[in-house]
Structure 1
Amino acid sequence: MSLKDRVADATSTGERPPEQQPATDLAVGDPARQWLQRRETYFVDALPRHVDRSHFMAVAHALMPKLKDCNPASIHTALLACARFGLEPDGRQAAIIPYKKVATFQVMYEGYIDLMYRHPRVDSVHFGWVREKDQWDYTPTEPSPRDFFHKPRVDLTDEERGRVILAYAFAWIDGRRSQVIILNRQHAEAIRDKYSNAYKKAEREGTKDSPWHTDFDAMWAKSAVRRLVKVVPTSTELADLIQADDDADDGHPAPAVIRGTVVARDDDGPSAEHQPSGTTWPTATQPGEGRRTDGAAEGGETP
């Protein structure tokens, strides 16, 4: 019996056919997710082709409860930075961290590695930790790859292997291994003290909330991988990522200019830097739907 006949038969006998359950919209009753859902086109259009659009947006939606008190314009800017570089804000490749109601783009060391892999000459990139009881040796006068050796104690847990004493990173380029970047804790602290404006500001204000305060090991790892950038083939995209990382450390939610995308303003309000700290979720138009009220054309590139 066909589906049509079964429905007709059920109706004639007084039985009601089973009701179809309505599709559940995760954004219903959640202004932050509704806002993100309306803006989806902005982010998926900025993604590189190799990135799965659906998965990126699923990660972004999962992040919204954490950012619900942040300025919407700063969320837009930070998510657009993630999309432009093709890095998911999952805490591994990149993160979006709320600082005083401003959502801030933060690249992680795996994000740098991901962009290095995109260069056709780079065969592989490796990052690792050396612990106290590991077997290792570094003799810079030896030719590559005999200059560096590391054998972790796989029969022990990380705790049993002892504390971390070194971070290191290297790449294989055109079949040859690059220089090995080695960073001990003291070197990482020196980099932090000399270059991190966010750390210095958090120390002065007594907030202790910079990434160097909240996740020292992640910043230690990123410092090692960032130094590797100097010895691998570079691209415009990788240079832009370094600038974005520096901008975030200087207190900007995302780079002032991301090539080919609009990042400076929210649709219905001023830039994240000048918008009031209170959270409102404006109705967002899709790209190309007319012009903004300030007279600037939608989709224009920030100078």
Structure 2
Amino acid sequence: MADLKDRVKAATASEEQRPEQPPVTDIAARDGHLKWLQSHQSYFTDALPRHVDKAHFTAVALSLLPNLRKCSNQSIMTALLACARFGLEPDGRQAAIIPYGDTATFQPMYQGYIELMYRHPAVDTVHFGWIREKDQWDYEPTAPSPRDFRHKPRVDLTDEERGPVILAYAFAWIGGHRSQVIILNRQQAVEIRDKYSKAYAKAVREGKTDSPWQTSFDAMWAKSCVRRLVKVVPTSSELTQLINADDDADDAGSATPPVIRGTVITRDDQEPGEQPTQAPTWPTTAQPGSGGEGGEQA
């Protein structure tokens, strides 16, 4: 009897040590997503700029599909094609694809704007940063550049010890000269949100908290700052188109979504798969601010 108990105990222990296997339905769903994506792959590969790795873009797109299972094929295609057109990966850093009900929506992030700025041959570098309460900084607009702005983070302190974020800033070096420094405090970001965001206004009217300004205030604060920098750096038709697409994304959260300008989708085949849906959320910023509540138009 003791021997039997020992064998049962050993079998149970070995069973517990086995790695958990993914459900068969998850594997089938992923295969369905991959098949759907591969059948439409020519749309993305034709639109992607040469410098973007097509296989990596496809892999990132595949990872998004489970979260978009309630969205229509056409909206998914439109959002992915918008990412491809601008050469931005939908990885939550350069761009994101957010489900608004049954609509997948392309949302550029501040890193996406910076990526497009770098593509102009006159732009040397672009910098975005957060200033925290205990950082050393000074801004004197009348002083000659680059002595008009200085920021020295407290590297001897943690972010928490440095205090809450009080300012976002961005600037670029263009042909050896520094651009105007764009500085945006929290109250200014709130004013941009209240004045320009249709998606935020709609969420407030309906008593919801799912607009980007509510779920990821810092991401929108950062993007609003970088969008203002667009006005003082060498511009391009691509940057102008990105701003238009960004405005369209905000419209998509407030009304019947328009097609991203310049995209044409002609196919709407089988659904990419079935997975649990999620409420619209935004990724956190790469350099996190203070969080909390949720430009010009973003």
User: What is the CA RMSD across the aligned residues, in angstroms?
Assistant: 1.8
TM-score by length of 1: 0.77
- Structure 2: 5+ residue stretches without partners: 1-25, 274-298
- Structure 1: 5+ residue stretches without partners: 1-25, 269-278, 283-303
2:261 alignment counterpart? 257
Q: SS in structure 1 opposite 2:98?
A: strand
Once the two structures are TM-superposed, the CA of residue 281 in structure 1 deviates from its matched residue by 4.7
Aligned counterparts, 1:207-246, within 5 A: 207-246=208-247
Please tell me whether the aligned partners of residues 251 and 257 of structure 2 are also in contact (alpha carbons under 8 angstroms): no
Question: Judging changes above 3 Å, is the alpha-carbon distance between structure 1 residues 177 and 254 closer, same or farther for their aligned structure 2 residues?
Answer: farther
Once the two structures are TM-superposed, the CA of residue 63 in structure 1 deviates from its matched residue by 1.0
Higher relative contact order structure (alpha carbons within 8 Å, sequence separation ≥ 6)? 2
Once the two structures are TM-superposed, the CA of residue 68 in structure 1 deviates from its matched residue by 1.8
Q: Which amino acid aligns with 1:131?
A: R
Once the two structures are TM-superposed, the CA of residue 266 in structure 1 deviates from its matched residue by 3.4
Q: Which amino acid aligns with 1:166?
A: L
Name the CA distance, whole Å, in 2 between partners of 1:69 and 1:27.
Answer: 19
Residue deviations 1:140-164 (CA, integer Å, cap 9, x gap) = 0101000000000111111111000
Aligned counterparts, 1:139-154, within 5 A: 139-154=140-155
Name the CA distance, whole Å, in 2 between partners of 1:123 and 1:32.
Answer: 40
Once the two structures are TM-superposed, the CA of residue 111 in structure 1 deviates from its matched residue by 0.2
> Which protein is richer in helix relative to its size?
2
Name the CA distance, whole Å, in 1 between partners of 2:175 and 2:116.
Answer: 17
Residue deviations 1:108-160 (CA, integer Å, cap 9, x gap) = 00000000000000000000000001000000010100000000011111111
Please tell me whether the aligned partners of residues 27 and 34 of structure 1 are also in contact (alpha carbons under 8 angstroms): no
Residue deviations 1:220-242 (CA, integer Å, cap 9, x gap) = 00000000000000000000000
Name the CA distance, whole Å, in 1 between partners of 2:209 and 2:104.
Answer: 18
Once the two structures are TM-superposed, the CA of residue 35 in structure 1 deviates from its matched residue by 1.0
Name the CA distance, whole Å, in 1 between partners of 2:68 and 2:272.
Answer: 12
Q: Which amino acid aligns with 1:204?
A: R
Q: Which amino acid aligns with 1:257?
A: R
Q: Which amino acid aligns with 1:81?
A: A
TM-score by length of 2: 0.78
Please tell me whether the aligned partners of residues 107 and 245 of structure 1 are also in contact (alpha carbons under 8 angstroms): yes
Question: Judging changes above 3 Å, is the alpha-carbon distance between structure 1 residues 184 and 94 closer, same or farther for their aligned structure 2 residues?
Answer: same
- Name which one, 1 or 2, has greater alpha-carbon Rg: 1
Identity %: 71
Paired positions, count? 244
Name the CA distance, whole Å, in 1 between partners of 2:163 and 2:245.
Answer: 35
Question: Judging changes above 3 Å, is the alpha-carbon distance between structure 1 residues 245 and 100 closer, same or farther for their aligned structure 2 residues?
Answer: same
